[in-house]
Amino acid sequence: MSELTQLKLEKIDEYRFRIPRSYKPGMRVPGIIYTDEKLLKDIRQDKALEQVANVAFLPGIVGASLAMPDIHWGYGFCIGGVAATDIAEGGVISPGGVGYDINCGVRLLKTGLQYEQIKDKIEDLVYALFSDVPSGVGSKGDIRVSAKEEREILVKGAKWAVEKGFGIREDLECTEEYGAIEGADPKAVSDRAYERGKAQSGTLGSGNHFLEIQVIDQLYDSRLSDSFGLELGQITVMIHSGSRGLGYQICDEYVRSMVRCLEKYKINLPDRQLACAPVKSPEGESYLAAMKCAANYAWANRQCLMHLTRKAFERVLSQPWEKLGMYLVYDVAHNIAKIEKHNVGGQEKKLCVHRKGATRAVPAGHAALPHMYKETGQPVIIPGDMGRNSYLLVGTEKSSETFFSTCHGAGRLKSRTAATRSIDANALLKDLKSKGIIVKASGRDTLVEEAPQVYKDVNEVVDVVHNAGISKRVCRMRPLGVIKG
């Protein structure tokens, strides 16, 4: 029996389990996993719990090393992990706590369309989107920028795209950080990262990234759904993408360079993949400035993708997107580290909050919210797999116990290699078609690697965070047409 299997978790309640500090000498805080007994069996299949314990070694970590129900093994941190460090107490920032796809995130568009109105146009829309939106490994878009413009994107984020005519001011109000986080410094980004990013604005990317036409099939809270302008049978569009090659290169370079910081700052960790530096150090500040550049690039990218989506709908349905009611509900990051103020032990502290495969979920009244969401709480977008559902949730007061964080998706069950070995692409396409789901992918390998059966059931994941009270269900969407990278 492996050490991992022997790990005895302490059950706090129906939806929380604890890894005690005594599990490993050197843990500064306990680990807390949000899950239920059923999902816990899947979580135990890889090393994610061990990674939760390892993160508890980080200097300055406060509260607990947290994990959401969609956790699975990742680089250093598990995917689905949350950790906050106290900057004044030598708290660190770790590139592994953000991940390689910096500001991978999701945006949700509503439309004024009902399924019955356009059910015969879904296939046309899918083919138009697949034609107009570049996708796949190394894909390049028609939105080309000069070196000077690329540096502007890294500072301005989605605002750059809106200034170029790829959206409207209201889009920025419905984007986390208004589409650009302050403090980005293009000088912290290498020439190689610039080279990888310069032709990828407005591209979907590969892997689990997607563009999906959906229909709302269940409402959970009529007051909130009315506030968001959502109803049963309504068509929505979800976009899931990140910072592409630029973000990957930034992470790769800083992960390798920060290994040297472990000795320099006398940091002892059980896993070198957790390489980190104090936030208030030259290395920490440089990574944070570069990470913010990648985050802003990702917000600009999703803004451009939404512009291409609106244009495809216009072309197929022969109406301007405004008349089609294609307005942004919200855009959220789920791979990012942010400097935030939180209450810790009755005191307000400035923390570096790592969310890797986790979504910010602030409650009604929070200062970070735009005026239209002050009374509802932050919209939280949770994508599922291409054969099941996706969700819109809102943040709650109880999410203060997770530094205002919740899950980010379904979470993988099988590796991409295992999926390729065990799933037949033709059978998968036939099954999805039988469910009324049209799929276009840039490659058959991507299709198989992202099959519904390689993921946990997002319905079960959302049940946990809703029942635990760290976010609240608003509505559920099911896929009609999917574009995969």
Amino acid at 204: L
User: What is the Cα–Cα distance from 178 to 159, expressed in whole angstroms?
Assistant: 8
3-state percent helix, strand, coil for the chain, nearest multiple of 5: 40, 25, 35
- Nearest to residue 77, comparing CAs of 220, 329, 269? 269
CA torsion through residues 334, 370, 235, 241, sign: negative
Q: Could you say which of 334, 354, 408, 466 is catalytic?
A: 408
CA-CA-CA-CA torsion for 281, 349, 364, 216, nearest 10 degrees? 40
User: What is the Cα–Cα distance from 238 to 327, expressed in whole angstroms?
Assistant: 12
Phi, psi of 214 (to 5 degrees): -135, 170
Task: Please indicate whether residue 408 is annotated as part of the active site.
Answer: yes
Q: How far is CA 200 from CA 140, 187, 245, 477, in A?
A: 5, 20, 8, 29
Q: Are strands 61-72 and 277-278 parallel, antiparallel or unpaired?
A: unpaired
Contact indicator for 484, 135 with CB cutoff of 8 Å: yes
CA torsion through residues 413, 414, 415, 419, sign: negative
- Nearest to residue 339, comparing CAs of 284, 269, 301? 284
CA torsion through residues 396, 398, 399, 400, sign: positive
Contact indicator for 208, 306 with CB cutoff of 8 Å: no
Active site (catalytic) residues: 408
